[in-house]
Structure 1
């Protein structure tokens, strides 16, 4: 009988179990060079040129690598920084905060809680109600309009936010 680890679920019901080595290889094989640079090598896309910067429709922004819903369009705001900005995640357990001391400064890096891909950074200078600004790379996200199925590249049945 195989040794099956228990499934980790977020309070909103999504499977947070990290991908195994085979799943991870499959997910990473589908990334473009720029997506690989940002998601896997913790890069940053140039400001004011991300494909999702002007996205105004209702919906959800998901992790480009594993499909986990990360941010709702209703929590998005115009920060003027050149990257999509949000006041809070879909579920606090979907986004991990990591201390980032690169580039001679201390910041809080945000990563997908399921696949550990780099998303961007969070800063304490956002608007109410949270006062937070999740500054996220467009290339790290995929957008799903309301009413459409969420991506499920791991086949876990997580189909709605």
Structure 2
């Protein structure tokens, strides 16, 4: 796999897929998420980013994971309730998946090769910004909120980069 556009993910609804190839030539924000985490309120900021920048082509994809602190223990219905009802998420959310270690889904193995050892998620709400060429542009730990200047500056940069 040479670009993020080569990956597909099963969607949270269990009936469809999220084809990252559909976002070719567009920037993408990928986030590993959890419903019962201290960082879960970042869903609001992610939704704001998607609402604001999605019109300009930015895609946001959430990938729930139970890899850290058993903070995503529920099934698709409970994850959906947190995302859609509690936080008004409108961006695509994938099926719960492993994002660390040998069991990580291929997308997260690819992200690790793109960003190096330190880019591997060590908790929920790691954020990966992919440029229009389908390569990792920047990554952020959960401590960087989606509304921070540092984060939005990088979003602006990939949005303007042609």
Q: TM-score, normalised by structure 1?
A: 0.27
Instruction: Give the number of the structure whose residues are more often strand, by fraction.
Output: 1
Q: TM-score, normalised by structure 2?
A: 0.27
Instruction: Give the number of the structure whose residues are more often helix, by fraction.
Output: 2
